[in-house]
Amino acid sequence: MSVRMRRVYEPPEPDDGLRVLVDRLWPRGLSKDAARVDEWPKALTPSTELRRWYHAGEGSYEEFAERYEAELAAPEVAELLDTLRASARKGPVTLLTSAKAPEESHAAVLARLLAE
């Protein structure tokens, strides 16, 4: 299974496979043609409330990850996660985010869960 994270602002690479935008909001200053996004499952992204809480600096990354995993456990969201996991078993999946530090973002939580 091949799941990786990249900033959506980086140019696409041939080995990206399925390119999945995992941000709730479209990245600023980026055209849809330049992004070359294959899927944009907004239901898999952190809720607006959780995103605002984390960006306000009110909690640690570990607490954010726990809260985000709880959101992903909702039945309708878990089904989307399973679908994306199945895609990752078939070929490479690249999770795209505009986060400046993808390793400390929701994309890292998703990547870990997809690898399970």
Tell me what percent of the residues of the chain surpass a pLDDT of 90.
87
Question: Domain of 88?
Answer: 3-115
* Angle (CA) 18 19 20, round 5°: 110
Q: How many domains does the chain have?
A: 1
Instruction: Give residue-wise pLDDT tens across range 28-86.
Output: 999 999 999 999 999 999 999 999 999 888 889 999 999 999 999 999 899 999 999 99
HSE-CB for 5 with a 13 A CA cutoff: 21
